[in-house]
Chain A
Amino acid sequence: MKRFFELTRRDLKVFFKDKGLFISAMITPILLLVLYATFLARVYKDSFFAALPDGFTVDPKIIDATVAGQLISSLLAVSCVTVSFCANLLMISDKANGSIRDLTITPVKRSTLAGAYYFASAASTLIVTFAALAFGLGYIATQGWYLAASDVFLVILDVFLLTLFGTALSSCLHFFLSTNGQASAVGTVVSAGYGFICGAYMPISNFGAGLRRVLSFLPGTYGTSLLKNHLLGGVFDEMSAVGFTDEAITGIRESIDCRLFFYGREVTEPAMFAILLGAVLFFTGLFVLFHVVFKGEKAK
C-alpha cells in the first residue's frame, strides 16, 4: 500500500510541477470561459428573451441564472473529461521519456503502477474540476442563486462521476499510446470534439435526428444532462412560481438537453446516473483487462 501511495504522490507532483501538462489541462476550461464571457452568454440571453411571448415580462435575474447554469454545466461537462485526458498524459510521457523503465525495474507490481496512474489522474482532475465547480457556483451566485443544498450535492456527484468517466476512458485510450505525438493527437481530437458530442457547446436537441440517435449511445451525453438538470432545476422551479406554463418549461428543458430520449423513450435521472456509473465501471474494467491481456510485452 505504501508503494501505491508513494507512486500516486509522485504522479501528482509530476503533474502539478510539469507546467506543460498542467497548462494543457487548463486550456479547455479557460478557453470556454473566455468564449462565454465574450459573446456566448449574451447570445444565450438574447435568445431566451426573444423566445418570450409578447407582453410577457420576467425578472432578468431568472434568465441570467438560466444562462449561468448552462454556462457552468457546459464548462464542467467538458472539463471533467478533457482535464482527465491531460492529467493522464503522464502515463504516456513516462513511456516517451523512459521513466517507465525505472519504475518497472523495481519490485512494484504492474497493477500497482496502473492503479497509481488511475488514482493520481482522477485526483488531479478532481482538484481542477472542483476548483472549477467552486468558481462556477460563485459565478451563479452573482447571477441568481436558485440552487437547493441537494442540487449542490448532486452537482458534486455529477462532477465526481464524470471525472471518473474521463479518467477511465483516457486510461483505456492512453494504454496503447507511447509517444508524445500520439498523445498530442488524441488530446487535440478530444479537446476539440468532446464538447460537441456531449452537448456542451451546442444542445444536442439542435442536431438532426440521426446524429441525436448516435449521440444517445454516448455516456458523456447523460453526464452533461445531469449537470444541466441539477444546476438549472431550481431556476425551472422559480420559472414555474412566476407563471411560466409547464409546457413552456418543458420546452426550455428539452431545448437545452435537460430531457434526453433514447429511441423515443425519455431517459430518467436515475437511469442517467446508472449509465454514467456503468460506463465508469466498464472502462475501468477494460483498463484492468488490458493489463491482464497485454501483461509482459508492455514492459518494453
Chain B
Amino acid sequence: MENVIEIRDLYKSFGTVRAVDGLSFRVKSGELFAFLGVNGAGKSTTISILSGQLKKDAGEVSVFGHDPAREKAAIARRIGVVFQTSALDQMLTVRDNLRSRAALYGITGEAFVKRLSELSELLSFTDLLDRTLGKLSGGQRRRIDVARALLHSPDLLILDEPTTGLDPQTRRQLWNVVNDLRKKTEMTVFLTTHYMEEAADADYIVILDAGKIAAEGTPLELKNRYAGDYLTVYGDAELPDFGYPVEKIRDAVRITLPDTGAATELILSHPELFRDYEITKGKMDDVFLSVTGKDLTGGDGR
C-alpha cells in the first residue's frame, strides 16, 4: 500500500519550546490514522507542517511524494482540513462561504452548484444554505466545516478534533459520512481526537507525548501491549485472592489481568469458579493513560 504521508526525524521549536521532537511515522493510503496526544503534545504543529502552513526546523516530510514546504500547491489540491475551530467567515451565509472557498480550487459556476448540492444532501444542510454561518448551532457549523474540507474531493482528509463539543447524533452523522466516503473513494483520514472510542476504530494509532512518539500500533496491538484484559465474573461467587486487582461491580466482579493468556490460565486453574464470565480487552482510554500517564483532558492520571 502506498504511503500518503512519510515523516522522518521531524523537529519544530517555538523559541525554547520544542513542539515536535524527532517525530517519524507513515500513513498508508486509504487508512484511518489516529494521532493522539494531550493539548500541547505537538499534534496541530505537525498538521500545520503537513499542510505547508508552517516551516519545519529539521527532518523530512513528504505528502503524496511532495515536500509541503516547497510544493504546497501540489499538496493543497489533494488535502482537505477540518480545523479545531471553524475557520470560515461567520458573517457570510453558508452558500457564500462555500462558494468563495470552492473558487480557490477552481470550482465555479455549474461545477460548484453540482458539488454544493451533493455535499448539502450528504451532510443534510440544504435548508441552511442561505443562513448566516455565525447564527448556526455548533453541530450545524461543524457540518459546514466538513463540507468545506470535502469541496474539492480530497484524497487525504485531516480532521483536527472534529467532534469536540458535538452532540452524539451529530458525531454519528459526521462519522457515517466520513466512513461512507472512505469506502467509496478510498480517502485517507488523518484524525486527532479526544474521544478514544473514535480512535479505537482507527487502522493505526500514534500516541504523542511532549512532541515525541510514546506508542504506536494498531488498536489491538496497543491494547495488548498497554491495556491488559478484564475478566468479569457474573453472579455472587466469592473469589479467592488471585494476586490481581479486583473490583466489585453491580452484579459481578471484575478482575484486571495483564493479558488474555493470564485470563485463560486463571480460568483453567479454577474452572469451578468461572461458570458465567466474560473476557474483554482494555479500552483505548486505558492505553492512553498507561502510555502517557495523562488522561486526554490534559490532566495527570497517575
Binding site for B on A (CB under 8 A): 2-3, 6-7, 9-10, 13-14, 17-18, 97-109, 296-297, 299-300
Contacts and interface: CB of A to CB of B under 8 A. Distances in A.
B280 interface: no
Nearest to A17: B91
B114 to A, nearest CB: 17
Contact of B92 (A7, A17, A300): A17
Contacts of A102: 81, 83, 87-88, 101, 148
Contacts of B115: none
Nearest to A104: B53
Interface string B67-105: 001001100110101010101111110001001110111
B87 A101 contact: yes
Given A14-B92, A98-B85, A99-B88, A300 B48 contact: yes
Contacts, number: 76
Contact of B108 (A2, A97, A300): A2
Given A6-B99, A104-B53, A297-B55, A99 B87 contact: yes
A21 to B, nearest CB: 9
Contacts of A99: 87-89
A106 B91 contact: no
A114 B54 CA distance: 18
Contacts of A108: 104
A17 B91 CA distance: 6
Main SS of chain A's interface residues? helix
B-side interface size class: 20 to 34
A296 B91 contact: no
Interface of B: 48, 51-55, 69, 72-73, 76-77, 79, 81, 83, 85, 87-92, 96, 99-101, 103-106, 108, 148
A77 B251 CA distance: 82
Main SS of chain B's interface residues? loop
A110 B73 CA distance: 11
Nearest to A14: B89
Contacts of A105: 51-53, 76, 79, 81
Nearest to B77: A107
Contacts of A3: 103-104, 106
Contacts of A7: 100, 103-104
28 contacts: A2-B103, A2-B108, A3-B103, A3-B104, A7-B103, A7-B104, A10-B100, A14-B92, A17-B91, A17-B92, A98-B83, A98-B87, A99-B87, A99-B89, A101-B81, A101-B83, A102-B83, A102-B87, A102-B101, A104-B53, A105-B81, A106-B101, A106-B104, A106-B105, A107-B104, A109-B73, A296-B69, A299-B53
